[in-house]
A and B are shown apart, each in its own frame.
Chain A
Amino acid sequence: MIVAQRINRVLVRIPPWAIYVVSVFPPVWLFWQGMTGGLGVEPIKALEHRMGELALQLLILTLAVRPLYEWTRINLMKLRRAFGVVTFFYVVFHMLVWLVLDVGILSEIWADIVKRPYITVGMASLVLLVPLAITSNNLSLRKLGPRRWKRLHQLTYLATFLGALHFVMLSKGFQLEPYIYLGLVIFLLALRIKLPKRRPRPSPQRSSAS
């Protein structure tokens, strides 16, 4: 665990605000690339997909913080809230690219949300993240109390699952990538399931013998 200690010594020096500052660059960079031809000849879809993918990756990173600590003692806990909040803004940006640049027609937007399951699922994921983003501050944590706050923030699990499902549902043909994401998410969620301790069941033979 010496390696973990060394890594943690570096990590502890990273203030959460640094995550927020760094997180501004990828969307701004991608938008700039989109405007100047760096995203190819159809930049709207490219920007939309890249942002969606980044958001999903960040959601997975956020979910991975605890198992990473439990298995390797590498401690990202202090930065986890920042990851979560940045994820929310990426999801919002992803949605705005779809809404404003991609569809851009009001009647079509609403029709898509209610009629197209993959968009309904994506939207649901975004909506679930709203209360989490709002309460990602110390004041909310105090007001809600740690137990209720924690329970509320377990919505992340559902939001992440829906995000990965959204990706699986929109792909054309059988493609591996979305399933790899979904598999990762299901794995990370399964780690959270606390299995009830198995009581040794007396075998019928024994019980009859005793």
Chain B
Amino acid sequence: MAGRYKSDLNWSDVTPKAMWLNRRQLLAGAAGTLALGTIANPVDAALGAAKTDYGAGLEPNTFEEITTYNNFYEFGTDKGDPARHAHKLTTSPWEVVIDGMVDKPGTYSFDDLMKGVSLEERIYRFRCVERWSMVIPWVGFELADLLNRVGVQPSAKYVAFETAFREDEMPGVRTPIIEWPYREGLRMDEAMHPLTILATGLYDEPMPNQNGAPIRVVVPWKYGYKSIKSIVRITLTDTQPPTAWNLYAPKEYGFYSNVNPNRDHPRWSQKFERRVGGGLFAKQTETLMFNGYEEDVAGLYSGMDLIKHH
């Protein structure tokens, strides 16, 4: 169901495709000796996603920025590791197990998931807990669409997600950086919110592996790690599911993890962020409550102490 959400963003704010394509060709040419993952592959399969009004006034980061600066610890902790190693991930065939409190549990192939789905483009802000940010033109569909298709039972209160765990394809999982597999979760109303999407691409192309191919969650008002990548399992449950970073350090990473400039990470302030791509002299800018989506999502948390339930 495209276009349920209204915002004041403009399609004209997106970097013209010709411009970033040009950049990619340059990169692809230079990548003869460099293994730059999927960037080097001349995949030009346009997804033809419907344009929407998301992201007016925002200028998206370039394809290069979005695909070379990633946190995807399954492929290593360096920001460049995912771009270097994620090409090893087999994304086709891909299956997602949907289980728990649903009417139609089962193993769904990627094609099953995409059946009858109309893809749309959404330009969202992306704020990492590490104080950097981007603007990304995702392609995807609302998570609610899938959940409604599989039939959420009334007893379900949360949605739990799990990332693929493949020792032979993911060099990072040899180190117990966190407890693998990577897990995340959302409260039902958060999962059903029209801003929450399952993304299968960006810049109108299939999702690059380093960005969470073939299918990932994007929750734009939460810190980036809530937007779980390369999903293999979706479980509907009545209890708050364990989540990877929360298990590692509960004081630093709460279950909700809403972007909140008033609640510092114990080791650093969250008042400011820096847009990736501004070069060596880029200045920090103020972080917005709920990453700028306050009007849309504040209602989900009315009456809640957002410092305690960080």
Contact = CB atoms under 8 A, between A and B. Distances in A.
Nearest to A47: B280
B73 interface: yes
Interface in A147-181: 169-176
B269 A173 contact: no
Contacts of A169: 267
Nearest to A35: B280
Contacts of A176: 175
Contact of B271 (A44, A108, A116, A170): A108
A116 B267 contact: yes
A40 B69 contact: yes
B91 interface: no
B68 interface: yes
Interface residues of A, number: 29
Contacts of B269: 108, 111-112, 115
- The interface residues of chain B, by DSSP majority, are classed as loop
B280 A44 contact: yes
Contact of A43 (B80, B130, B279): B279
Contacts of B281: 101
Contacts of B40: none
Given A41-B65, A43-B279, A108-B272, A170 B284 contact: no
A12 interface: no
A59 to B, nearest CB: 22
B280 A34 contact: yes
A118 B267 contact: yes
Contacts of A116: 267-268
A118 B267 CA distance: 7
Interface in A78-115: 101, 103-105, 108, 111-112, 115
Contacts of A45: 132
A172 B130 contact: yes
Interface residues of B, number: 30
Nearest to A111: B269
B267 A43 contact: no
Contacts of A70: none
Contacts of A173: 73, 77, 177-178, 248
Contacts of B233: none
B88 interface: no
Contacts of B276: 41-42
Nearest to B134: A41
Given A173-B178, A174-B177, A42 B77 contact: no
B280 A101 contact: yes
A16 interface: no
A35 B280 CA distance: 6
B175 A174 contact: yes
Given A108-B269, A170-B267, A173-B178, A41 B277 contact: yes
B69 A42 contact: yes
Nearest to B271: A108
Contacts of A35: 279-280
Interface in B156-184: 175-178
A67 interface: no
A131 interface: no
Given A34-B280, A173-B177, A174-B175, A40 B80 contact: yes
Contact of A41 (B68, B77, B130, B268): B68
Interface in B80-137: 80, 130, 132
15 contacts: A35-B279, A40-B68, A41-B277, A42-B276, A43-B279, A43-B280, A44-B282, A108-B271, A112-B268, A117-B267, A118-B267, A169-B267, A174-B175, A175-B77, A175-B177
Given A111-B269, A115-B264, A173-B248, 11 more contacts: A40-B68, A42-B276, A43-B280, A44-B282, A47-B280, A108-B269, A115-B269, A116-B267, A173-B178, A174-B176, A175-B177
CB-CB nearest 7 A-B residue pairs = A173-B177, A41-B65, A34-B280, A43-B280, A41-B69, A173-B178, A42-B276
